[in-house]
Chain A
């Protein structure tokens, strides 16, 4: 699914050279729920940006669904993002003037789907996250948890290869955080591959596998006790 071979990323700002990733090798299998954890400045965001095809590595190879995406052009990257990746952001990033349904349907607009198809699939995605009754609501009429659920619906509407969640619970209280985590676990149970970036160990604990990044290197890579995943269930 995701195969990263000796990925390096160097930033050049003026005369200063900064190596954010110093050679990382990771293989994430289909259906895994992986968290990337590390302190700020560790390089976890850079790694996520590369996995999400928002950025390209300076060196190394990145295979997504057996396709080498480490050296494709800007347009190619936008297609990969559209077809294979579903983003969930810390600050939701919903478009304020659009309804929940329109927000969720947006990736399908860029996929070139017809209006009927978009509406159908967006409705279905909103039903999965339990917002089948909030199709017409605008983001400012919804709570933080609801907004994030809309964002998750938007991430899964294209049926992507991997769902990339960047601190998805960072702006939420503990109760809502748990709700979101349950939804993500439910998606994992349905066979989705999820990569979650966080700096909170309690969140990472709830995932199947943890990648600890420190100073641009993969420090640890371990599996949590499977019971934690199995014990959860989405209503």
Chain B
């Protein structure tokens, strides 16, 4: 008998019992749909995060002190430490800058706006990806003489200067209870990042020394650097921490921690893949249950159609013909279930992605694999009922009531 003939027969048999076929598929549909949704969201979020980390800067890293373990101020970073690191690692890094942070308020009448100030040096624009819209970035003179100058986010220009070039204008902020005045020297624009999205925080860069003078500290908790493209940022980080620990005499105490986009991406990757694994395990159980459902219904179908099987055998169907007929039926059920599951997964992924602000990504290979897998379920769980049907004795089958 021809293969296509068997497929047509399988469809005929299933269409005779549409509701039952659909209910049988349900387990497979749910299993496949959840796998699809999770794979789609996992891959989609990974791509989204990759984009985010890339905008943060791929070879960018920060070293910071562990507040909980720190014992003395000696262990914080001094300007001389940074200079030493710059010397030692000059072949492997593009730029290095200590960084400090402060919050400020801009009071306009009764309204007050939160500003986030970041103290950096003149090299910082090589570390962080930013585009200058107006003016210039901080220069070495600004930093050396601790000038009260600022490079502000384009958002500040849009909000407080009606989108007009604010270079040369003064901006007065309350920092730690004192009013400081900064001259704007530049406006920058940055691609949207993960944090601070939608929050009304205005960012600006000022010379770190200026910020230190204001807060009264001459040490830093954090420094940032950017490694050269051909050097491994994580290896540089490891070595840097060793050098610092040796200089401070605190080897192996874990006083210094680090952050890099590579490290972060690995962590995120681990998180999403363990999440995917978890959901896949649930989906696998659902598929198993679905498969057992198919086997169950196929067994019922074999019993119900015992006379039909007997008749077919009397008319000349071989064992193989009967076996193939029932196997194809179970494969068709599970493959259609799989296909519906894929579509449903796509739909759910798209809806979920809509809320999560990223597009779910389902690779074609995953779709093919999933379809193949559901067909495999059909074969595996259809084999026993099909064998049972094929092995029926035609005489007994014809007499079956």
Query: Is B1 part of the binding interface, using a Cβ–Cβ cutoff of 8 Å?
Result: yes
With A93-B310, A93-B311, A95-B308 as known contacts, state yes or no: A110 contacts B12, CB within 8 Å: no
Give Cα A223 to B374, complex, Å.
62
Q: Are A110 and B310 in contact (CB under 8 A)?
A: no
With A89-B398, A112-B1 as known contacts, state yes or no: A78 contacts B316, CB within 8 Å: yes
Partner of B314, one of A74, A81, A94, A109: A81
Instruction: Kindly list chain B residues whose C-beta atoms are within 8 Å of the C-beta of A81.
Output: 313-316
With A75-B320, A93-B398 as known contacts, state yes or no: A54 contacts B315, CB within 8 Å: no
Partner of B1, one of A74, A87, A110: A110
Number of chain B residues close to chain A: CB under 8 A: 23
Q: Are A112 and B2 in contact (CB under 8 A)?
A: yes
Q: Are B316 and A93 in contact (CB under 8 A)?
A: no
Give Cα A106 to B309, complex, Å.
12
With A54-B395, A98-B12 as known contacts, state yes or no: A111 contacts B320, CB within 8 Å: no
Query: Is A97 part of the binding interface, using a Cβ–Cβ cutoff of 8 Å?
Result: yes
Q: Are B394 and A110 in contact (CB under 8 A)?
A: no
- How close is B38's CB to chain A, nearest CB, in angstroms? 39
Give Cα A75 to B12, complex, Å.
26
Give Cα A232 to B313, complex, Å.
34
Query: Is A176 part of the binding interface, using a Cβ–Cβ cutoff of 8 Å?
Result: no
Query: Is B297 part of the binding interface, using a Cβ–Cβ cutoff of 8 Å?
Result: no
Give Cα A75 to B310, complex, Å.
15
> Interface digits, B1-40 against A, CB 8 Å rule (1 contact, 0 not)?
1100100000011001000000000000000000000000
Chain A, residue nearest B390 (CB): A74
Instruction: Kindly list chain A residues whose C-beta atoms are within 8 Å of the C-beta of B315.
Output: 81-82, 87, 106-107, 110, 154
Query: Is B317 part of the binding interface, using a Cβ–Cβ cutoff of 8 Å?
Result: yes
Give Cα A112 to B320, complex, Å.
14
Give Cα A49 to B396, complex, Å.
11
Instruction: Kindly list chain A residues whose C-beta atoms are within 8 Å of the C-beta of B320.
Output: 75
- How close is B10's CB to chain A, nearest CB, in angstroms? 12
Q: Are A74 and B319 in contact (CB under 8 A)?
A: yes
Query: Is B321 part of the binding interface, using a Cβ–Cβ cutoff of 8 Å?
Result: yes
Query: Is B387 part of the binding interface, using a Cβ–Cβ cutoff of 8 Å?
Result: no
- How close is B316's CB to chain A, nearest CB, in angstroms? 2
Query: Is A83 part of the binding interface, using a Cβ–Cβ cutoff of 8 Å?
Result: yes
How many A residues are at the interface, by size bracket? 20 to 34
With A49-B395, A74-B319 as known contacts, state yes or no: A109 contacts B5, CB within 8 Å: yes
Q: Are A110 and B319 in contact (CB under 8 A)?
A: no
With A54-B395, A89-B398, A97-B16 as known contacts, state yes or no: A82 contacts B316, CB within 8 Å: yes
Query: Is A6 part of the binding interface, using a Cβ–Cβ cutoff of 8 Å?
Result: no
Interface positions of A from 63 to 89, Cβ below 8 Å from B: 74-75, 78-79, 81-83, 87, 89
- How close is A105's CB to chain B, nearest CB, in angstroms? 10
Interface positions of B from 283 to 329, Cβ below 8 Å from A: 307-308, 310-321
Q: Are A110 and B321 in contact (CB under 8 A)?
A: yes
Give Cα A83 to B318, complex, Å.
12
Give Cα A97 to B16, complex, Å.
7
Instruction: Kindly list chain A residues whose C-beta atoms are within 8 Å of the C-beta of B316.
Output: 78-79, 81-83, 107, 110-111, 158
Query: Is A159 part of the binding interface, using a Cβ–Cβ cutoff of 8 Å?
Result: no
- How close is A219's CB to chain B, nearest CB, in angstroms? 24
Partner of A52, one of B13, B16, B314, B321: B314
Query: Is A32 part of the binding interface, using a Cβ–Cβ cutoff of 8 Å?
Result: no
Q: Which residue, of B311, B317, B319, has the highest number of chain A Cβ atoms within 10 A? A: B311
Query: Is A55 part of the binding interface, using a Cβ–Cβ cutoff of 8 Å?
Result: yes
Instruction: Kindly list chain B residues whose C-beta atoms are within 8 Å of the C-beta of A98.
Output: 12
Instruction: Kindly list chain A residues whose C-beta atoms are within 8 Å of the C-beta of B321.
Output: 78, 110
With A95-B311, A97-B16, A112-B1 as known contacts, state yes or no: A78 contacts B318, CB within 8 Å: yes
Q: Which residue, of A54, A74, A107, A109, has the highest number of chain B Cβ atoms within 10 A? A: A109
Instruction: Kindly list chain A residues whose C-beta atoms are within 8 Å of the C-beta of B318.
Output: 74-75, 78-79, 110
Q: Which residue, of B308, B311, B314, B395, has the highest number of chain A Cβ atoms within 10 A? A: B314
Chain B, residue nearest A106 (CB): B315
Give Cα A191 to B5, complex, Å.
33
Instruction: Kindly list chain A residues whose C-beta atoms are within 8 Å of the C-beta of B2.
Output: 112
Chain A, residue nearest B5 (CB): A109
Instruction: Kindly list chain A residues whose C-beta atoms are within 8 Å of the C-beta of B394.
Output: 54
Instruction: Kindly list chain B residues whose C-beta atoms are within 8 Å of the C-beta of A158.
Output: 316
Give Cα A193 to B188, complex, Å.
100
Chain A, residue nearest B308 (CB): A95
4 tightest A-B CB contacts, nearest first: A82-B316, A110-B316, A78-B318, A97-B16
| New contact pairs (5) apart from A93-B398, A109-B1, CB-CB < 8 Å | A78-B319, A79-B316, A93-B311, A110-B318, A110-B321
User: Could you list some 16 contacts between A and B, CB below 8 A?
Assistant: A75-B318, A78-B316, A78-B319, A79-B316, A79-B318, A81-B316, A82-B315, A82-B317, A89-B314, A93-B398, A95-B308, A97-B13, A97-B16, A106-B315, A110-B315, A112-B2
Residues of chain A touching chain B, judged by Cβ–Cβ distance below 8 Å, are 49, 52, 54-55, 74-75, 78-79, 81-83, 87, 89, 93-95, 97-98, 106-107, 109-112, 154, 158
